[in-house]
Structures are given as structure tokens and as C-alpha cells.
Structure 1
Amino acid sequence: MPDSDGVVRARWRTEPTPSDRNWAFLKTLHRGEIVTGTVTHIASFGVTFVDIGGFIAIINIPELSWRRIDHPSDIVTVGQEISAEILDVDPIGERVSLSLKALQEDPMALLIGQIGQTITGRVTRLVPFGVFVRIEEAEDGFEGLVHNSELTGRNPDAPQLGIQAGDTLLVKVLDIDTVSRQITLSHRRAAAVGTEP
């Protein structure tokens, strides 16, 4: 065994390969640790590459923001210095996954206090099973679903009749699930309160 150790030490002293250096660096990293790096590249498929001390780590698009985004460039730019939390370190695969959103408070959790309240939102899209309504003013605001069964359409066979994207709709917030990222709304129960104009 000493001979084998001696050979390893000699190789480290004389000619460490990139993999040797990566292995040594990765052994210093730990899940949950905060690192600072520079965005080096944003791939067309949505992965952001970040240089953290000479090693390139990645941030997948869901880990960039708590809010829905179309492309990483909505959040970061090449050359930008960022801080992120380490989600996973794989020394064998030489891969480090980071999360930018882990360092931010989940804005959806701040909406929990609205459960049971009646608010006015804007219809963003219609789908076969209901309509989505944005319940925050911002363009990237959270949207909730009003299921067809929770619409007050006069025609039960076509509950969405007369509703278009861009319309304002009075809704009651029934539930906010921060784990599944789903907000459940009701137009029918909001109208039943008698506050709809």
C-alpha cells in the first residue's frame, strides 16, 4: 500500500490532470453551501453555466426563479456575478448543480394570507377545463385556475362563454399549494358573496 500511495503522491506533485484538479475542488464543496460565480454561458435549452472558481457548475431553469420564466436571460446575463446555493455535488460525474432561487424567499408563500379572500384578477388564458386568472398586478404575477365547475356561466354546457383573455374576473382564493405551485380559485363562490358588479 505505501508504494501505491507514493505513486499517487508523485503524480499529484508532477502532473495533476484536469480531472485530478476537478476532483480535489469538488471534494471541498458541500450541499447547501453558498458559492459565488460568474455566468459564462446560457444554453438555448435553458441551462445556465456558472464558473465557480475555475469549475463550471449548472443552474437548470426551474432553479433560477420561484416565478415562471420563459428563458434564463429573463433573470441572468452572461458576465453577471451571482451567488447561489449548491443543490448537489457529483464528484464522479464531475457535476455541480446550483439554485439561485434557494437564496430568495418564495413569493407564493406571501400569498397564503389571501386564502378565503375575494379579489379581482385578469384572465390570462382559457383551457378546456377552466380559465387561468393572474391574481397579482405584475406581468409575471402568479396565476390560479378557475375550474369550469367554479365558473358562473349561464350555460352549464359552455361555462366559459363570454369570457376572454384580458377580461377582469372576480374570484375567491380557495387554496394556495406552494409545493405543487398551484392556486385554486372560484368565480362562482366570489359572485355568490354578492360583491360582483
Structure 2
Amino acid sequence: MVTGTVAEVHTFGIFVHIDGEPEGLRTGFIRVPDLTWSRIDHPSDAVEAGQRITAEVSVAETRSGQVAVSLKALQEDPLIRFADQVDRVDRVAIGSITKIIPLGVFVQLAPDVEGRLHLSELTDEPVEDPAQLVGEGELITVTVAEVDLRHHRVRLCAADGAGSHAAPPEAPERRTSARTSGQASAFDPFRAPGHEPKHEGGHHRAHGWPPSSPRRPAS
């Protein structure tokens, strides 16, 4: 673990002046994916020049002479906490649509946790662009189908049976290679009350219904 000062902020990463190195050098470097668990548009959303930081060394020395360090390595992985909450409470959640892509949408389920909902879960009708159905910032009810800790992603399905794969599994699938044990801290993701299955009643009319009028009794 090292401490230092952010020297330069670029679109491709952050240069850090590590404490103890000669003035003017900035051998520390943080890649954009190693800055934070949060979704950011630019590294300046996470840090700024002159900011003091504490980071974990990823690679002691690269070919360019840089020391690769990570801020994210010292932060709690929010997906682990979310996975524990899903296991204990409810798989149905209400989240805000954060991004629309050609094959679906990303939904924020909790702070720094997003899941992907495929286009087929939004509708059974042919649609060229999900933006024809939903918009960014819109709230949507979904079911957590899978929490993949190894690849750090969440797969969602429709909670109301709108899509062709809308039927939720008995329990969310959980994939992980290795994880530390310990009790997760309190967490309160967006959750919706359980949805009861809908039953549609109705009667089929047979041929000849209604029956003919009853015969009038003979006088």
C-alpha cells in the first residue's frame, strides 16, 4: 500500500507522485478501471489533481518504469454486499434505467450496482431500439436472475412477464470463484413488494348458447 498525490488526470488514467520519490517524478499510475466501482464518464469524476490518495500496488514496476496502483482494490465491492442482500430478502427490485444500448438497458439496483436487462425482456414485439419503449431515468421493476461475482455483472429479467424469458427461476443463480467470508453490512437496495401471479378468468361460449327460450306451457 502506498500514499501519494494525484499529479495529472487524463482520459486514459491518473499519474500519481508517490510519497518519498524525487520531486517532479510521478511513477504511480492508476488505470481508469482501477479508480472506482462506480460508473464514471471521466477520471476527473473520481479524483482531481492535488488530491491525496492511498492505493494498493498492483504491479511494482512496468516496462515504462511506472508503478501500477489501484484505488478500487481498497474499496468494498458493492456487488458482494448486494448478492448477500438478494439471497436473504427479495429478488424483485425497482431500479432506475441508467443507460440504453441496442440490445437492452442497464438498471441501477443499488449504489454502484447495475444490472443488464435484455431487450427481449421488455417486449415480445419486434423493436429496433429499446428507447422506443423506455427512457433513461425511468423506474422499472425487474427480477434479479443471476449475480455473477466472478465477472462482476448482474443479469435481470422482467418482473411482470412481459418478455419471452420473463418467468423467474426458483432462486437467483450465483457464480463466484472465491470470496471472503464475513457478515455483510446493512444494505437497503431498491425493492418492490412480491408480485402475485395473475389469473385471468373467463368462460368459453359453446355453439348454441344461449339456449332457446323455454316453451310456454300448453293451456
- Identity across the alignment (%): 36
From the CA coordinates, give the structure whose radius of gyration is larger: 2
Match of 2:103 in 1: 129
Tell me, in whole angstroms, the C-alpha distance in 2 between the residues paired with 1:195 and 1:99: 47
Match of 1:50 in 2: 16
Tell me, in whole angstroms, the C-alpha distance in 2 between the residues paired with 1:95 and 1:162: 47
Match of 1:61 in 2: 32
Distance 1:170 1:35, change over 3 A: same
Aligned partner letter, 1:46: F
Match of 2:125 in 1: 156
Runs of 4+ aligned residues of structure 1 deviating over 4 Å after TM superposition are 188-192
Structure 1 residue 59 displacement after superposition:
0.7
Match of 2:5 in 1: 38
Q: Which has the higher helix share?
A: 1
What RMSD in Å do the two structures reach over aligned CA positions?
A: 2.6
Distance 1:121 1:91, change over 3 A: closer
2:140 maps to 1:169:
yes
Q: TM-score, normalised by structure 2?
A: 0.62
Distance 1:91 1:184, change over 3 A: closer
Residue correspondences, number: 157
Contiguous gaps of at least 5 residues in structure 2? 168-194, 199-219
Match of 2:91 in 1: 117
* Contact 1:172/1:190 (8 A) holds in 2: no
Contiguous gaps of at least 5 residues in structure 1? 1-33
* Contact 2:117/2:156 (8 A) holds in 1: yes
